[in-house]
């Protein structure tokens, strides 16, 4: 049981770390504005608090999804490792 819990927690941590690396570039790619000519200025005005709220919400959601996926994958891996049990030595003990 201890091995399974350790694998699960390791998976959650690694999944969150992976999502922290993967999600920000995905957010910037997904939300990138269209081509703007360098000689002209941007004519749109954004509401900064809404943009920050949106980006933070998406980052946290991505981290939760990454933690869930990592937890499930490593939980299964932990169950497989724990089900093998300790290996018994095939060589007889010396007397």
How far is Cα 30 from Cα 54, in angstroms, rounded to an integer? 13
Quote the pLDDT of residue 89.
62
Query: What single-letter DSSP state applies at residue 63?
Result: H
CB 7 within 8 A of CB 78: yes
Residue ranges per domain, the chain?
Answer: 2-26+47-84
Whether 9 shows a pLDDT value over 80: the answer reads yes
The model carries a pTM of: 0.70
Please tell me the distance from the alpha carbon of residue 60 to that of residue 9, in angstroms, as a whole number.
18
List, for residues 44-78, the tens digit of each pLDDT value: 677 778 878 888 999 999 999 999 999 999 999 99
CB 62 within 8 A of CB 19: yes
Higher pLDDT, 4 or 85: 4
Residue 28 confidence class, pLDDT cut points 50, 70, 90: confident
pLDDT value at 42 more than 80:
no
Choose the weakest-confidence range: 1-15, 25-39, 44-58, 66-80.
Answer: 25-39
> CA-to-CA distance for 26 and 61, rounded, in angstroms?
13
């Amino acid at each position: 049981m201890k091995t399974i819990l350790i694998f699960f927690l390791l998976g959650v941590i690694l999944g969150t770390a992976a999502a922290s690396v993967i999600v920000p570039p995905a957010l910037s790619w997904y939300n990138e504005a269209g081509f703007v000519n360098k000689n002209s200025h941007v004519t749109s005005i954004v509401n900064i608090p809404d943009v920050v709220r949106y980006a933070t919400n998406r980052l946290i959601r991505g981290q939760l999804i990454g933690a869930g996926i990592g937890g499930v994958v490593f939980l299964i891996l932990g169950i497989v490792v724990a089900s093998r049990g300790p290996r018994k030595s095939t060589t007889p003990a010396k007397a």
